[in-house]
Structure formats: structure tokens, C-alpha cells
Chains A and B, each alone.
Chain A
């Protein structure tokens, strides 16, 4: 029949008319090549908030996670593309605006990026978004061709006719697909069918970041944009007494001096003029309650707090009794300093407040809160504030703040000036500006049983709360315990019948914040060093000792085996010593062996072998990159950095006294990814926690010096015993 009726759709209609009604309508004319009537597109096809397909086949993905180096502008598109089956080369990425559709799937009514959740929280959501778009495009093509949708295939941004001889591009179908209802449910590919997920893919943001065109917040250009720098309090909690802006205003280019909540802003035609103006600003502060803040004194206060029982964060068995009756027990004190995030791009924000609305350009991890804060400052409804997320020149948590302080101040300055203003923090503002990883003091005791296994573990944590008094308190603070102070130890993986973890909240004052890996950054240091101390007390190899205690955690044991094999555990290169650490955080497990040399009281990390089990991988090369990055980030803190106070003032100010390792100090890093079918874990943060203890344990292996204070310091020698006033003397077997 198909040979006989070689007709166009129009011919077919004529024939039908000739044959009369009714009869012919029942005819099915397979293969009849009808003229395809493709509805023209009046606009792009937007099956959901994440995808837009234009008639010219351009595919735009709106990504609601901030790109700060962790690769979400590539890995999240991979999730969509896996199901949408789109031509990868045609994908464009846009930062999502602030809208409820872009809220974090696990954070309630908040749009934001953090907690190594970007993949974990969107793995189903974005694949579903892609699948939904695909189903609608297929349906549109199937209607045009009058074939069952299930008989059509898709490939590279085209729907392919069941017979395979013709196809329609997604762009061509945009108009027809736009008229359809999104499906209620879509099937998702099983992992075995993944073509994109789990295979290395080049970052989409690389070209712009290599040729200098990538726009960070600090690069935003607007007509008549002014620049402001702010004179900030010299002591946290200090208040402004008075200022005289005349000298500042006399600097060529300076437009105005205005008071804002965070200090006194000098507004100018350029950064340099604003900075020169700030230099000559006459300003008097009332230093307030922290005027005498001193790190040494604060350390004593923390030690005193650790003498008192705290709130019980974890409890099983009777650790005190087990410790009292134990034949072999050790105790130690670990101390960790305040740390600045020091992203390479200092904080900044562009605000343009007008009578009818406000626009913000900012590299932020917390869009909803920032948008709402801007609306509040302007006295506008939230809908009147438009926030543009730029690239972030590093985040590490510093751009995820509950009080939106760096957005509020820009909005305040713009409002006062009635002009668009960019507020730029200098590096000194950044290092001295607070929102640090909190200082922590951990007193820990452990006991070994007759079997040389772990009998008791007791840990008392003194630490400021990150979340108290912030929008995150409700979710992260339970019965007075800030989860971010105790995470990583209350769920101790090592088998122990008696466990007690107590929390003493240190007094507030210095602004504190999450710093890449948050509480795990110090709990893992204590846990992994102290388990090494216990292994030593038990006279056992640190690897074998850990494995015995991880019987309930086969993934950790398997990872340790992989690591030991790849690192050549127990066989370090001549003159080097190895240290080991493993830690689970953010849904992933990372284990590392650090190989160090110690010469002239200097610790040099020569090689780090890293094994990571993050479940299903998305972009494996990004995982490798994040492990390299996390090892570097953690190593910088482990060996170099501390924020300290004297007379209320932060003693550090820039990279000369808050130093960052350079290329020459970077160890060789080898990363091994455990193949896994488990659900995806986080990847931005979990590589940080193990590196500091791995290095400290390697130093112990090198010279029997047990370093319990960060940053790890061998000189002057007096510092090491001071780190462990209560003992730290191991009872040797």
C-alpha cells in the first residue's frame, strides 16, 4: 500500500475528501510520506527551569549552583545532558536567577551552594529535568510524524524517525514541544547505560578562564560604576565613635565618604582613589569588649573550659568507668587555630539601587539570603531585587554567610550614593575581616582493652558555634550543640564500646564560619592522630590497627586496602616516613598516605597518595582535581597558617604573614578513585580532613615527635610539649 499511496499530506486530504467522510478515516496508511507540519517557535522551549532550547538549536542550561572552582558548571550540565541527549558542543551555561525553582533540594527555601551537596542534591533532579525535556521533544516529533513516541530515538540533539531516514533537531521542535505538558513521571537511565556520567569531560568554563574573559564579581562593569573601600573596625565588635572624611575627600577621584553598618566607606571613581582616600581617613573607634583579646589568654580560657563537663553530644556505654578501669590509657590535647579562607578573589559586591529596584552582581554561595538582605536594606519587595551570580574566585565557605554582610554594605553604599557601586575588600580586609574557621581545643582520652582493641574514647570539644544566631541555627543546632563543632567524631567509625563526646561552646565574639570541610577539618585531625597514638600504644601498625576497628565499615576497609597497595604502605622511599589517615565526610570517604621528610626542623610533604570512594562518579577528572585541591588547601593550614590576636587586633594581614605554599612546596599527588555503584557523595570538601593528620602521623613516624597543635611546628622545640600540657605521654607497651 505504501508504494501505491505515495502522497503528500495535502494529496491525502484531497483523496479523503473525494472518497467521502467516515470511510477513509479508518484507513491507516503506513509509510505515507506526509508533509511535516512543524509549528513555528514563538520563543524558546523551556520544559523546566533548568533547560532552554532555542529554534537555532542553542541549548542553555541554567545552573543554580555557584561555580567556584569545583566544576559544577560542567558536572551539573553532564547530569542534564545524560538524559536530554543533547549535542554537548551546543550547550551554554547561565547562572540561574534567584527563584523558588532553584532552591536547594535539601535546604528548604534557600538557593545556595555548600556542604559538598551540589551533585548529591541534584543527581535525580537534573537527570529528571533532562529526561522530561527529552520526552516532550520526542512527543512533539512523534505527533508531527504521526508515529508512536516509543518508536523514536534521540541522539545528539535530534529526534530520529523510527525508520531512521529522517530526523528533527531539538531547535526545530522547540515550537511544537513548547505546546506540550511536561510529563508527570519519567523513567531514568540505569547507571549501566550512562554515556556521559562517570566519564571524564573537559570543563566548560576553561576557555573563558584561560583567556581572561571569565567575569568574576570584581570584574563587573556597569555604566558610571563607582568603587568603594570600607574602613572596618580594628577589633571585632568595635563601634564607630567619629570620623572626619575631609582629608579622604581631598584625594583626587574620591566622591564621597559614607557611614555604613560595617564601617566608613570611601567612594571613588576607581579602586586606587578609594584606597588612597581610606588611607587618610580620620576615624576613631570604641574598641568594645574584645579590646584585649589575646590568643595566649584565650587558649588558657579554652583549657579551663575543657576542665568542665560539657553538653553530651554522643554517648554509649560508660567511657569514664572504662577509662578508670583500663590497664592501658592515653590522653592528649589537640589545638587548632582560627583560619581565614583567603580566596584569591577578595570579597566584593556590585549594587545598583534605584527607586524602582535593585540589581546585585556578586560571587555568592547564598543567593536567596543575599537577595532578601538587599531587599530589606532597600525597603523593596524581594521581587524588585535582581541578583546576578558571577564566577567566584574561590569560595571555601567564605561566600556562604548567613548575614549577607558583604552584600548589605554594598547596597547601603549604593543607596547612599544613588549610583551603582562596587565595594572591594582589600586582602588586608579579608585576612583581618573575621568569619574564620573557629579555634578549637579538644581534650581526648582513650583506653585499650586486654585484647589491645579500643575500649573507650572520650573527647571534650571547646569551640565557638558557627550557626548560633544565624539562619542556619534551627537546622544545625540541637539542644545547645552546634553540629558543626562535633561532626566527624560523634559518628566515630572505629568500633568502641564506650564513647563520650562532650561540647563546651566557647564564648562568641570573633565572627566564625564554615571553612572547607567545616567541623571535619578539626575533628578528623584529632580522631586520626589520636587513633595513631592508640595504635602506637597498642604496639600495632597504624593501618592494621585501623582495619581491625573498622569491621562495621567495609567500604573504609576496602579503601584502606586500595590505598595501602597504591602507596606502598610500610615501604616509604629512603629517608622518608609515611603517615596515614582516613575520614568519612559529606557522603564520601577519603584516605591518604603522606610521605614526608623532616630536615632541620622543617617538614616537607613529598608525596601524597589519595584514595577516594565517593560512590557513583560524575566527572572523574574533577574528582582528581578536587582531591589535589583539598590536599593543597589542608596542607597549607596544616603547615603554615593561623589567625592570632594581640590587643584585640588580628596579627596577620596578607600573604606575607598568612602564607600560602607555592608550586615548589606542592607534593606529588596521586589520586585513586574506588569504582562504586553507591549513590554519589560530595567531593569539594572530603579531601581536606585527612591531610593534616596524615602529615602529623608521618612526622611522628619520622622522628617520634607527636605534634598536636596546628599549624604543625617543629621549631622552636618548646612549642610541642606546650601543645599537650596534660600528658600526651604514651604508655609504651
Chain B
């Protein structure tokens, strides 16, 4: 049995220790907001936070996430400024990659609160096949401004 702390709750799962965290989240914990798309760490659809760092959960063996704080899209507060910015900027199209983009963006803003374009270009490396990138960029700027005014990123 492996114990995981996900979204501030403890879960016991019976899986092989090298199972990718992505599939433990999706299949064992039924947290399907975290998406599978490439399985090789290229696309970022499976991005979650481990101890506040954005990671691609398809590349993390579940044993490496033990004793750490895992946050998925389901654990992000409803009033989070990044979510609010995503809504305000009408970012989504098919929506499949967006949980991963949002998790990437929240971790990004914690590190780069000024959200300079050069930093966005370098750090926001997830794939969106609908090409919502221009709106992802404006949404990050919006969230950065909202956070600077007092909201917590």
C-alpha cells in the first residue's frame, strides 16, 4: 500500500511503486481532471503540482510522490485568480489540455509574479492543439495583475 496526499487528503492505493502518478490519479483516485495525452512528458496535459512545483505526472513514478503534497486541478480553489482569468479571457476550446495549462500557469505565477512574456514563452511549454496560446498568454497576464492587487496566485 502506498499513501498519497492529494488535495490535502490522504489516500491509500494498492499499485506497483513504478506506476506513473498520472494513472494512479485517474484510475485509482478517479481524479480525471488530470489528462493523459502523450505519456512521454511532451505535452503537459497531465501537469499537477508536487510540493507546489509543476510536474508532468505521466513521468513521475508514484513512489516518488509519497510524503509529498500533490495538488490536481480538482484541488485548486474555485476562486483562484488563474481560473478566474481563464474564464474571463474565454481561453478554452476543446478544453482537454486546459487543466494541465492551468496547473502550469499557477506554478509559473508563483515563481514569476510579473509574468514577463519572455518567461511565459520559456515556461509555458504545454501543447494545445486548439491553439489557445494567445488567450493563455493574456489570461496569465490578467491573473498576474489580479494577484498583484491582492489575490493569491
One of A65-73, A141-149, A381-389, A546-554 contacting the partner: A65-73
Q: Min CB distance, B77 to chain A, in Å?
A: 10
Q: Does any Cβ of B come within 8 Å of A203's Cβ?
A: yes
Which residue of B27, B40, B126 is within 8 Å of A427 (Cβ)?
A: B40
Q: Min CB distance, A23 to chain B, in Å?
A: 65
| In the complex, residue of chain A having the shortest beta-carbon distance to the beta carbon of B24 | A272
Known: A210-B102, A656-B40. A343 touches B92 (CB 8 A): no
| In the complex, residue of chain B having the shortest beta-carbon distance to the beta carbon of A621 | B90
- B residues in contact with A628, CB < 8 Å: 131-132, 134-135
Q: Does any Cβ of A come within 8 Å of B17's Cβ?
A: no
Known: A394-B129, A660-B127, A663-B136. A213 touches B92 (CB 8 A): no
Contact B98–A633 (Cβ < 8 Å): no
Q: Min CB distance, A337 to chain B, in Å?
A: 18
Chain A interface SS verdict (over half): loop
User: Contact string, A263-283, partner B, CB cutoff 8 A, digits 1/0?
Assistant: 000000111100000000000
**In the complex, A426 Cα to B131 Cα: how many Å?**
22
Q: Min CB distance, A664 to chain B, in Å?
A: 4
Q: Would you give 6 A-B contacts (Cβ < 8 Å), ordered by A? A: A210-B83, A396-B129, A625-B90, A629-B132, A631-B131, A666-B134
Known: A344-B127, A663-B136. A427 touches B37 (CB 8 A): yes
Contact A632–B130 (Cβ < 8 Å): yes
Contact B38–A664 (Cβ < 8 Å): no
Contact A202–B90 (Cβ < 8 Å): yes
**In the complex, A346 Cα to B43 Cα: how many Å?**
12
Known: A270-B23, A663-B136. A393 touches B95 (CB 8 A): yes
Q: Min CB distance, B12 to chain A, in Å?
A: 16
| In the complex, residue of chain A having the shortest beta-carbon distance to the beta carbon of B23 | A272
- B residues in contact with A424, CB < 8 Å: 36
Residues 95-138 of B contacting A (Cβ, < 8 Å):
95-99, 102, 120-122, 124-137
Q: Does any Cβ of B come within 8 Å of A216's Cβ?
A: yes
**Measuring CB to CB, which residues of chain A are less than 8 angstroms from any residue of chain B?**
68-71, 202-203, 205-216, 218-219, 221, 227, 252, 269-272, 342-346, 391-396, 424, 426-427, 621, 625, 628-633, 654-656, 660, 662-664, 666, 668-669
Contact B131–A632 (Cβ < 8 Å): yes
Q: Does any Cβ of A come within 8 Å of B94's Cβ?
A: yes
**Residue among A68, A219, A221 facing the most chain B CB atoms (10 A cut-off):** A219
Contact B93–A343 (Cβ < 8 Å): no
**In the complex, A426 Cα to B93 Cα: how many Å?**
22
Contact B95–A654 (Cβ < 8 Å): no
| In the complex, residue of chain B having the shortest beta-carbon distance to the beta carbon of A630 | B131
Contact A655–B19 (Cβ < 8 Å): no
Contact B35–A345 (Cβ < 8 Å): yes
Q: Min CB distance, B16 to chain A, in Å?
A: 7
**In the complex, A630 Cα to B93 Cα: how many Å?**
12
**In the complex, A426 Cα to B42 Cα: how many Å?**
14
Q: A69-B93, A628-B134 are in contact. List 5 more A-B contacts (CB 8 A).
A: A393-B94, A393-B96, A655-B43, A663-B137, A666-B131
| In the complex, residue of chain A having the shortest beta-carbon distance to the beta carbon of B75 | A212
- B residues in contact with A669, CB < 8 Å: 134
- A residues in contact with B92, CB < 8 Å: 69, 203, 205-206, 209-210
Q: Min CB distance, B106 to chain A, in Å?
A: 12
Q: Does any Cβ of A come within 8 Å of B64's Cβ?
A: no
Contact B87–A207 (Cβ < 8 Å): yes
Known: A202-B90, A625-B90, A654-B42. A393 touches B35 (CB 8 A): yes
Known: A270-B28, A655-B42. A345 touches B131 (CB 8 A): no
Known: A213-B33, A272-B20, A629-B131. A69 touches B95 (CB 8 A): yes
Q: Does any Cβ of A come within 8 Å of B78's Cβ?
A: yes
Q: Does any Cβ of A come within 8 Å of B72's Cβ?
A: yes
Known: A632-B131, A662-B127. A345 touches B94 (CB 8 A): yes
Residues 57-83 of B contacting A (Cβ, < 8 Å):
72-74, 76, 78, 83
- A residues in contact with B128, CB < 8 Å: 344, 632, 663
Contact B102–A654 (Cβ < 8 Å): no
Contact B94–A344 (Cβ < 8 Å): yes
**In the complex, A623 Cα to B76 Cα: how many Å?**
30
Which residue of B35, B76, B86 is within 8 Å of A344 (Cβ)?
A: B35
Which residue of B26, B87, B96, B121 is within 8 Å of A345 (Cβ)?
A: B96
Q: Min CB distance, A347 to chain B, in Å?
A: 12
Which residue of A346, A395, A396, A663 is within 8 Å of B121 (Cβ)?
A: A663
| In the complex, residue of chain A having the shortest beta-carbon distance to the beta carbon of B37 | A344
**In the complex, A68 Cα to B92 Cα: how many Å?**
11
- A residues in contact with B15, CB < 8 Å: 272
Contact A343–B26 (Cβ < 8 Å): no
Known: A272-B20, A427-B38. A344 touches B134 (CB 8 A): no
Contact A212–B90 (Cβ < 8 Å): no
**In the complex, A342 Cα to B27 Cα: how many Å?**
23
Contact A633–B131 (Cβ < 8 Å): yes
**Residue among A70, A203, A394 facing the most chain B CB atoms (10 A cut-off):** A394
Known: A216-B96, A344-B96. A662 touches B126 (CB 8 A): yes
Closest 3 A/B residue pairs (Cβ): A212-B33, A632-B131, A393-B96
Which residue of A213, A252, A394, A426 is within 8 Å of B130 (Cβ)?
A: A394
Contact B120–A663 (Cβ < 8 Å): yes
**In the complex, A441 Cα to B38 Cα: how many Å?**
31
| In the complex, residue of chain A having the shortest beta-carbon distance to the beta carbon of B28 | A270
